[in-house]
Amino acid sequence: MYKIKFNKILAKPLDTGCILDVLLNIVHRYNPCLLGEVVSMWKIKRTRHIDYKYYVVFFMVIQVNKRIIKKRVNNKRVQNMYENTGGFKMKNKNGIMFGVLLLAILGVFFIKEKNKEKINQEIVVETQKNEVKLGVLQLLSHPALDTIYKGLIEELARQGYEEGKNLKIDFQNAQADQSNLVAMSSKLVEEKNDIIVGITTPATLALANATKEIPIIMAGITYPVEAGLIADEKVPGNNITGVSDRTPIKQQIEIMKEILPNLTKLGILYTSSEDNSIKQVEEAKKNATDLGLEIKIAAVSGTNDVQQVTESLASEVQAIFVPIDNTIASTMPTVAKVAQEFKIGVFPSADTMVADGGVLGLGVDQYQIGVETAKVVIEVLNGADPAKTAITLANEGIIYLNERKAQELGIEIPANIKEKAQIVGNK
């Protein structure tokens, strides 16, 4: 079970499992009769639990040095051998070589573990004594993202982190320019911020490419695993954690059908360069098809072609669904104006987009995303390891209703939906 070739083992990162594999292989090779006793005596039961590594390693070093047992022994005999190992001399050069090998491997592992713990400890000590240096990278300016930032800053203040007192904020806005994202990410890293927040997927991806050491907290990332930011939402596995704004798309389309009982043709508008939008469109298409709707999908490449693409789409459908999409969010008034001309409603996935001219959306509270992001920031500042901190899902699915827009389009909202909705955009 533990016979593993050295050249393969030593090519791997030296984690706990790898170290114990090497050590157990050495015992198996030179004292196979002792393997069962080693495992039994120290109660590791062939696991690699870190709490036992010191005892296992010490006992194995002793056995490699002695190499005097030729037959299986019981636990009592092993205990006696352990208690009387002082002063034993190594019988040959191989014993010395492997003893040195064991200690060298163990030393490397201890140094690695200590350095890993040191990073988080340094963050905690620094933030307790000095002001926290917080970097923030936002993709562009529009109400949805600005609201996330507002929720972040205000919740930090409520939790005792106030700018000008014990908090220094380095806020960067890329204005939807990829070259700005790259340059600003490097700047935030070079200025040695204690922790960095990425608002939107493109911003967080740019930060992830700039540093593997500084903790990155993502705010409003819909599909972080699919975007390649983390390995798993429960155990991210790197220096990134934070908040996802994934919305219940199926439920939203079902509500649209309830509001528009004669709906048969649904348009979906999104930005082709936004990975999160692409994933949401796939999900929306499947759910709408299952409900018997005919789907027409239209993609924009940037803000310049939003009006033209929306006009073309609106002429062929009875309503438009918009996922969480930064480009469409920033041009939502234009989309709503075009839809108004064709007398159809737009149903987006965020409260700010509904307020900017949508009819209704089952979406996320952008301010609450900021609040939840601040909580994760504080958790990491207090010593939590981002690699082991699960992603927070801020997707309660709140119904947002622009009552004035519904009235302008002659859309009657059923009482059971209206009584649950939060009214926005009526000013």
Query: pLDDT tens digits, residue range 263-286?
Result: 999 999 999 998 889 999 999 999
Summarised one tens digit per residue, pLDDT across range 34-58 is: 545 444 444 433 333 444 444 445 4
Greater model confidence, 3 or 223: 223
Kindly report the backbone phi and psi dihedral angles of residue 299, in degrees, each rounded to the nearest multiple of 5, phi listed first.
-120, 140
Greater model confidence, 14 or 356: 356
What is the architecture of the domain spanning 130-245+370-393?
Answer: 3-Layer(aba) Sandwich (3.40)
pTM check: above 0.85: no
Q: Is the pLDDT of residue 159 over 80?
A: yes
Q: What is the structure's pLDDT at 294?
A: 97
Mean pLDDT of 176-183: 95
Domain map (residue ranges) of the chain: 6-124, 130-245+370-393, 249-363+397-423
Q: What is the structure's pLDDT at 275?
A: 85
Residue 364: pLDDT band (50, 70, 90) is confident
Radius of gyration of the chain (CA): 29
Nearest residue to 145 via CA among 177, 106, 173, 112: 173
- Partnered with residue 170 across adjacent β-strands are 135
Angstrom distance (rounded) from CA 371 to CA 377: 10
Sheet with strand 132-138: strands edge to edge: 167-173, 132-138, 195-199, 216-219, 240-244, 392-393
Q: What is the structure's pLDDT at 368?
A: 92
Helices (H), 31-52: 35-41
Residue 198: pLDDT band (50, 70, 90) is very high
Exposed/middle/buried for residue 179 (C-beta within 10 Å: 0-12, 13-18, 19+):
exposed
Greater model confidence, 128 or 285: 285
Angstrom distance (rounded) from CA 8 to CA 370: 46
Pairing verdict, β 360-363 and 398-401:
antiparallel
Cβ partners under 8 Å of residue 420, min gap 6: 399
Greater model confidence, 118 or 420: 420
Angstrom distance (rounded) from CA 107 to CA 397: 51
Q: What is the structure's pLDDT at 111?
A: 58
Angle (CA) 319 140 192, round 5°: 145
Percent of the chain with pLDDT over 70: 69
Mean pLDDT of 319-342: 95
Q: Is the pLDDT of residue 392 over 90?
A: yes
SS3 call for 146 = helix
Summarised one tens digit per residue, pLDDT across range 229-250 is: 999 999 999 999 999 988 889 9
Q: What is the structure's pLDDT at 163?
A: 94
Q: What is the structure's pLDDT at 11?
A: 42
User: 249-363+397-423: what fold?
Assistant: Rossmann fold (3.40.50)
Q: What is the structure's pLDDT at 96?
A: 56
Which residue bears the tokens 């209704």? Answer: 360
The answer for 3, left when phi > 0, alpha when psi is -120 to 50, beta otherwise, is: beta
Helix, strand, coil percent values for the chain (each to nearest 5): 50, 15, 35
Q: What is the structure's pLDDT at 120?
A: 55
SS3 call for 162 = coil
Whether 249-363+397-423 and 130-245+370-393 are alike in CATH topology: the answer is: yes
Pairing verdict, β 398-401 and 422-423:
parallel
Residue 365: pLDDT band (50, 70, 90) is confident
Residue 10: pLDDT band (50, 70, 90) is very low
Cβ partners under 8 Å of residue 354, min gap 6: 348, 360, 361, 363, 400, 401, 402, 424, 425
Q: What is the structure's pLDDT at 288?
A: 96
Q: What is the structure's pLDDT at 182?
A: 97
What is 268-315 written as a DSSP string? EEEETT-HHHHHHHHHHHHHHHHTT-EEEEEEESSGGGHHHHHHHHHT
Q: What is the structure's pLDDT at 143?
A: 87
Greater model confidence, 68 or 102: 102
Summarised one tens digit per residue, pLDDT across range 56-96 is: 454 554 554 444 444 444 444 544 544 454 444 444 555 55
